[in-house]
Structure 1
């Protein structure tokens, strides 16, 4: 079968429903967020080198095997994270197929959908390099930061799905300040992780900076982020149809994340709270991206059309 013939057959397939496209896109967001959390579980349980090679678990074996230097539980925790990556990739691929079958094709929607499976492949490569470099703190940081980018793009994907034959609105971005501060929170958070006790393996070298100082810097970024949300709230009061629900969700999630971080710091960084803190970070990203899309939508909807704009004399 020629490529042109295959393309013609695909083009004759029925268009997927809006509900199906949204459902799969939401599944992409959920799996991208959960893979970050499972990665944190690998780290806090000291299972990062449970499978000491990549893509194999052990030389000559794709699955865990009995080994005197590696506990069986640690092997399966790391291997389970790798298996979950396969599920993330399948759902990302499904989102791309649905975006391709959508008619008429929307370039932004298709590009975001394409970024999902491509991002999974890139993440897998980064994960492999992280293992091969024996979990150096900055490789773990890059691995986590790549997940944050994927979660952001996946959230944009949900809001980019056209409906009723109309493209999704995309106006001028108005949330640069809190988004930039969120980037700062994530960067300082990975530094706290790099200097902290949970490196994925007891013998992994840590970032040689005082954890307490980094934690205070990380907290200061969060406080500034919350302050920026207050300013955004004041600004939204002067807009038409402001997305208050998304704003309240973001504010609640950010406050909850801050509370988890404080308790985590006061209680000696327990493993459970570390994993929940990573999941909370993903939720803050999702809520911020959702508000971003809501404000973009409102900005576009309130812009006068060409026909409505006053004509010059």
Structure 2
């Protein structure tokens, strides 16, 4: 079939509703966050090499098989995580198709964010395969987790980019320069918080396999560095609150801001209890899930501030034209 004919047939397909597009965007975000937690389950149960090869589980078999050197439960935990990757990929693919079918295609950013979802799943699966082939060396596991954080951030932006029926294209660079800079500073602090968190994990007891070499830094040292980033990030949130209160021309997104502060405080509390109680497995999984929630809440505030500022600028531009 000629490409022109195929494209014409695709263009005749009905425009998916915003509700459907938003539903799959939220589903992508939820599954991207959940797969990070299932990865933590793999790690704390020592199941990272339950399937010692990739993409096969065992040489010659895509599924777990009885083996005297590998516990059956560990095999299925790791294999279950791989199967869930397929679920994430299917949802991400549908999300992209819905974004592509949306008309008119005036928001290229929305389409690119949607395209990043299935591409990211493929890249993340490849990183996971490399991690297995490297026998779960700590830095490969860290990269694997950080890739998930990037995907959760992009998925958060995607949810907020789903076009509304009454959307008006917004001009670029409409956010006040100082506030834009501060948002980037906060995002950089969040990145530092996440990177040091993976290093705490690399120095900690849960490596995914009992024989995996750990990061040669005392876990207490890395925990203090990680906590320093947490306190700095909290301080930046306090300053952002004062900044938003002083802004003129748009109502600040206080609900999202309060949710972000609450999530960060709760995450810090879980991390402290986790450190004081010897890093129990359940709290490790909750801490990873909490990290994904912090990313989502931060991205939500980011989108709210930028979006509202753009709306104000559009109104101002309209009044000048009028």
TM-score, normalised via structure 2 length:
0.94
Q: Does 1:107 align with 2:115?
A: no
The 3-state SS of whatever aligns with 2:229 is helix
| SS of the residue 1:237 aligns to | helix
Given the alignment of the two structures, is residue 306 of structure 1 paired with residue 314 of structure 2, yes or no? no
Q: Deviations over 1:33-89 (max 9, x none)?
A: 000000000000000000000000000000000001100000000000000000000
Structure 1 runs (4+) deviating above 4 angstroms are: 167-171
CA drift of 1:164 comes to 1.3
What SS does the aligned partner of 1:175 have?
A: helix
Instruction: Could you tell me which runs of 5 or more consecutive residues in structure 2 were left unpaired when the two chains were aligned.
Output: none
Is 1:15–2:15 an aligned residue pair?
A: yes
Structure-2 separation of matches of 1:167 and 1:103? 14
2:239 match: 231
Is the aligned partner of 1:273 residue 2:286?
A: no
Gap change, CA 1:265 and 1:111, over 3 Å in 2: same
User: Can you give the 5+ residue segments of structure 1 that lack an aligned partner in the other structure?
Assistant: none
Following superposition, the deviation at residue 167 of structure 1 comes to 4.8
Once residues 300 and 47 of structure 1 are traced to their aligned partners in structure 2, the CA distance between those partners, rounded to angstroms, is 47
Task: Indicate the residue corresponding to 1:164 in structure 2.
Answer: 165
Instruction: Please tell me whether residue 124 in structure 1 is matched to residue 151 in structure 2.
Output: no
Number of equivalenced pairs: 311
1:245 alignment counterpart: 255
265-274 vs 236-245, which moves further: 236-245
- Cα distance in structure 1, aligned partners of 2:59 and 2:321: 71
Instruction: Name 1:151's counterpart in structure 2.
Output: 152
The C-alpha deviation readout for 1:68-114, integer Å capped at 9, x for no partner, is 11000000000000000000000000110010011111200000000
Check conservation: 1:250, 1:284, Cα contact below 8 A. yes
Counterpart position of 2:297: 287
TM-score by length of 1: 0.97
Q: Kindly indicate whether residue 66 of structure 2 is the aligned counterpart of residue 66 of structure 1.
A: yes
- SS where residue 246 of structure 2 aligns? coil
1:141 is aligned to 142
Aligned-pair distance for 1:299? 1.2
Q: Equivalent residue for 1:263?
A: 273
RMSD: 1.4
Secondary structure in 2 matching 1:123: helix
- Within 1, Cα distance between the matches of 2:318 and 2:226? 49
